[in-house]
Amino acid sequence: MFNFIVGTKDGTVGPNFARSDGEGDDRLAHILTEASHMMKTPTGPVTNDDSRSNEDSSSPRTQCPSPFSNKDSSQNRRLKKYENDDIPQEKVVRIYQEELAKIMTRRVEDMRHSREGFPGGGMPPHMERPPEDIRMALEAYHRELAKMQPGANLPNLPNLPNLHGLPGVPGVPPFPNLLALQQQALQANQHMNGAGAVQDLSLPKDKNAKMNGMTDSDKDKPMDAEEAIRHAGSAFSLVRPKLEPGQSTGSSASSPLGNAILPPAITPSEDFGGSAAASPLQRMASITNSLISQPSNPPHHPPPQRSMKAVLPPITQQQFDLFNNLNTEEIVRRVKEALSQYSISQRLFGESVLGLSQGSVSDLLARPKPWHMLTQKGREPFIRMKMFLEDDNAVHKLVASQYKIAPEKLMRTGNYSGAPPCPPNMNKPMPPTQKMISDATSLLSKMQQEQLLSSGHLGHLGQPAPLLLTPPGFPPHHAVTLPPQHHDNNKERKPPPPPQPLHQPPVMRGMHQHISPSVYEMAALTQDLDTQTITTKIKEALLANNIGQKIFGEAVLGLSQGSVSELLSKPKPWHMLSIKGREPFIRMQLWLSDAHNIDRLQALKNERREANKRRRSSGPGQDNSSDTSSNDTSEFYHSSSPGPTSGVPSAKKQRVLFSEEQKEALRLAFALDPYPNMPTIEFLAAELGLSTRTITNWFHNHRMRLKQQAPHGLPSEPPARDQSSAPFDPVQFRLLLNQRLLELHKERMGLAGVPLPYPPYFAANSNFAALIGRGLLPPEEQTKDTPSGLDLSMPLKREPDGDDFEDDDVESNLGSEDSLDDDSKTEPKAASTPAGRSNRRKPAAPQWVNPDWQDEKPRNPDEVIINGVCVMRSDDFRREAEETVRVEPSPVPREPSPSPSPVQPSPHTHSPEVLPEDKIKTENEDDRWEY
């Protein structure tokens, strides 16, 4: 289904996108071009129920959110905030008018087709929209226009009968450029659906075309034998889409590869009824969507289930004969290599190539059975994998699909050669170094051309500084230095003439389809990037030029301020990042290499400031909000769209705010068991008066953030549950918690300096005392002021395997946690990776990282260079361990606890011993606790 996208976040906020009044027309044209690109040929609606599609649409942030989805409010807000932000109202009006023209023109075209005789007679299937809908839409347009320009001279509402009249449509002004763009987009789409379709790898083009007019039942029919035979030999040809019963989808939706580009559909009813709170542009978009898309009554709510599961024709006997003895391990190895190298998800691979679910793929790849142990059925996936590996184009199609890159585009990089494919034969991959360098080089070149230098809105493009990215296989000092690309002006990026419909300008398409994939590719192909240095430079640049994280994040990275803050303050080492996580750093690097980076942002900033000024001065009542954010345009759109929800901005989702007591309780619980099981979670939820979901979230977040905050910037595993200690004990928990709450209470009463007696329990059970300290005190306090001799530190434990940072020496000294526990001493290994949960998973590592690269890691046992910047001295850990004083465990008096619930400080805690003063932290410290 066609979705008119008012603007894309990425497109709008990309480094190449900024606005000035003089270029509003271009921008609008781009908006529309972008929208047109989103439009598929009349092949039927694309369901968005596939989570890949969801991901795709949300990740590149281009979706036009359904007003019914949970994310809507925020998404809507974001759309408004990022895209329509400061478009003058008159521009909005014009867009409306242009869209009207578009609709009319399309309608006229449709009618003409109809009269000229569409195959099958009558109207083409996608045109079967009743005139009432058209009228409704047009009226909606006019309503919107009227709302914005009450006195404006609006184009006449054309009489519907006139739609049938050909060349001219009364009241509709000609918009040749617009129509040209539209036309181009249509051609592009035809191209996309034809040879080299980006998306649909499962369907041959003719089939695809055939299915354009299919009914659902048609689509459910199996591929005819001839078709199957004809396409045998390609792994993809084996894949057949299976539509879920009752699902109304078009052909393109049937493949997981076929719906990647399109954002979620919006149905007419949603358009006209449910989008009142959206901005005018969004409403217009919705209207347009509903008009241009089809069928006229698509499912109101896109089904949440997967739209497609590949149904593969059985492997023929011939194929079995051909592959009668496969080395499953080897196949699996190569498949994993391919998937990781190109960052193809198991799900995509499974569904597209094997016809299996992600879980099955994972299982197959993790534990391939030897060939002779497999049944015929069990061998099938391996045969398909083999065929996949031997299909030179398969991986590229899959990559193209995953990244939403036109295969043609991949070909242009010079490495993903299409047909005839050069070495991408996965059997003999090009030497990584050579391949990566050429990939990186071409990609960099491409990116510089298309991304960095396409930002024409702010003025003349200059010579970018050399881009310094280290190509894989090269040490950092061998960074690729690309010759600066020169672009005279934006016109270079104007759409080329129709013969190359896919070669669209990257502007607006920008991050989403064209650029983002490249960044993605760059992230995958760049072996090393000094994230620390990059962020330092970024911070300096922003600081020096008084540019906020918010605008930088939105304009350059496509991220929110909070994310930028985290990235800049806690950059992860490159090789610890997934490809997705690398993207922002690639963008930062690119931004740094842009000679006009600051200028562009400054201009954008000024523009926003001006827009805000205009907004404020646009009249009384227009700005009745607090206007805390200069970039938040929601009020602008709300004030200009007096619908039923006018003045009622979508309710802000209120975040749960934990009380200090709750936080203490959670920290304590975490110290006791960082991986609580469900009963524990439920207990905590009940105890703290929170939902289990909240508890789970907190533990997840806490583990993740603990990991991020490891000493010396060294990412670390969260503490593992001590195997020797009992599982989470509610009684102990309550007891300890009461103690902690009493401390808190005393702090609040201003008695922080008063020695706080230890409860007997603490004296008796040093484990829990240590746990309390380790779990509840910030590391800096834990390590620097611990006169009691009781080690309250909680050195962050790491898993003994896998990690690049892994350093045996360090590892052996990380377990000071063990030193606290006599039992764990007896089985140190088990304690460091308790059987419970902490060793269930591999340490997080980028899935795609080439194992060969990891051999280059420094091996000095005392010093680990991280990302070329951070140096971790294992001495630090050793010292911590040495300072640890072991306290022999003593019997624990198990006394019942008062167990207040929800958590309240208990005044009845008894404590003959003294808690060191420095263990009592202030509230303020508490707020600033770091891991």
Partner DNA sequence: TGCTAGTCAATACC
Partner DNA sequence: GGTATTGACTAGCA
Q: Residue for token digits 């099981």?
A: 677
Q: Which of 3, 8, 54, 526 binds DNA (CB under 7 A)?
A: 54
* CB neighbours of residue 757 within 10 Å: 17
Q: Which of 718, 719, 773, 795 binds DNA (CB under 7 A)?
A: 718
Q: Which of 221, 377, 653, 908 binds DNA (CB under 7 A)?
A: 653
Q: Does 902 bind DNA (CB under 7 A)?
A: no
Instruction: Give the x/- contact pattern for DNA in 556-575, rule: CB under 7 A.
Output: --xxxxxx-xxxxx--x---
Q: Which of 657, 787, 888, 891 binds DNA (CB under 7 A)?
A: 657
Phi-psi region of 595 (alpha: psi -120 to 50; beta: other; left: phi over 0): alpha
**Alpha-carbon span 291 to 298, nearest angstrom:** 12
**Alpha-carbon span 296 to 267, nearest angstrom:** 9
Contact predicate 168/153, CB 8 Å = no
Q: Does 242 bind DNA (CB under 7 A)?
A: no
- When the beta carbons of 575 and 734 are compared against DNA, the nearer one is 575
**Alpha-carbon span 281 to 265, nearest angstrom:** 16
Q: How far is the CB of 678 from DNA (least distance, A)?
A: 5
**Strand 468-469 to 480-481 pairing:** antiparallel
Q: Which range in 100-108, 240-248, 268-276, 652-660 contacts DNA by CB under 7 A?
A: 652-660
Burial classification of residue 335, based on how many CB atoms lie within 10 Å of its CB (0-12 exposed, 13-18 middle, 19 or more buried): buried
- When the beta carbons of 739 and 838 are compared against DNA, the nearer one is 838
Q: Which of 37, 52, 409, 457 binds DNA (CB under 7 A)?
A: 52
Q: Which range in 159-167, 390-398, 689-697, 893-901 contacts DNA by CB under 7 A?
A: 689-697
Window 668-687: residues binding DNA (CB under 7 A)? 675, 678
Window 503-562: residues binding DNA (CB under 7 A)? 542, 547-551, 553, 558-562
Q: Which of 20, 23, 51, 299 binds DNA (CB under 7 A)?
A: 51
**Alpha-carbon span 439 to 713, nearest angstrom:** 31
Q: Does 625 bind DNA (CB under 7 A)?
A: no
- 871's enclosing H/E stretch is strand 870-873
- When the beta carbons of 439 and 664 are compared against DNA, the nearer one is 664
**Alpha-carbon span 605 to 552, nearest angstrom:** 9
Count of residues engaged in binding DNA, rule: CB under 7 A? 86
Q: Which of 491, 652, 784, 908 binds DNA (CB under 7 A)?
A: 652
* CB neighbours of residue 422 within 10 Å: 12
- When the beta carbons of 649 and 916 are compared against DNA, the nearer one is 649
Q: How far is the CB of 223 from DNA (least distance, A)?
A: 26
Residues facing residue 915 across a β-bridge = 756
Q: How far is the CB of 278 from DNA (least distance, A)?
A: 14
Q: Which range in 100-108, 436-444, 649-657, 773-781 contacts DNA by CB under 7 A?
A: 649-657
**Alpha-carbon span 370 to 382, nearest angstrom:** 10
Q: Does 74 bind DNA (CB under 7 A)?
A: yes
Instruction: Give the x/- contact pattern for DNA in 338-357, rule: CB under 7 A.
Output: -------xxx----------
- When the beta carbons of 284 and 365 are compared against DNA, the nearer one is 365
Window 359-388: residues binding DNA (CB under 7 A)? 359, 362, 365-366
- When the beta carbons of 323 and 403 are compared against DNA, the nearer one is 403
Q: Does 425 bind DNA (CB under 7 A)?
A: no
Q: Does 60 bind DNA (CB under 7 A)?
A: no
Q: Does 577 bind DNA (CB under 7 A)?
A: yes
Q: Does 129 bind DNA (CB under 7 A)?
A: no
Q: Does 112 bind DNA (CB under 7 A)?
A: no
Window 176-195: residues binding DNA (CB under 7 A)? none
Q: What single-letter amino acid sits at 241?
A: P
Q: Does 613 bind DNA (CB under 7 A)?
A: no
Q: Which range in 694-702, 818-826, 855-863, 903-911 contacts DNA by CB under 7 A?
A: 694-702
Q: How far is the CB of 695 from DNA (least distance, A)?
A: 8
Q: Does 638 bind DNA (CB under 7 A)?
A: no
> Tokens representing 701?
């977040």
**Alpha-carbon span 814 to 816, nearest angstrom:** 6
Q: How far is the CB of 737 from DNA (least distance, A)?
A: 17
Q: ∠ CA 749-751-754 to the nearest 5 degrees?
A: 160
Q: Which of 412, 837, 879, 886 binds DNA (CB under 7 A)?
A: 837
Residues whose CB falls within 8 Å of the CB of residue 174, separated by 6 or more in sequence, listed in order? 101
Q: Does 583 bind DNA (CB under 7 A)?
A: yes
Chain Cα centroid distance, residue 524: 15
> Tokens representing 17?
């996108």
DSSP letter, residue 274 = I
> Tokens representing 785?
């002021």
**Alpha-carbon span 578 to 573, nearest angstrom:** 10
Q: Does 118 bind DNA (CB under 7 A)?
A: no
Contact predicate 84/633, CB 8 Å = yes
> H-type helices in 355-431, by residue range?
358-366, 376-390, 394-403, 407-412
Window 847-886: residues binding DNA (CB under 7 A)? 847
Q: Does 333 bind DNA (CB under 7 A)?
A: no
* CB neighbours of residue 408 within 10 Å: 17
Q: ∠ CA 112-115-118 to the nearest 5 degrees?
A: 90
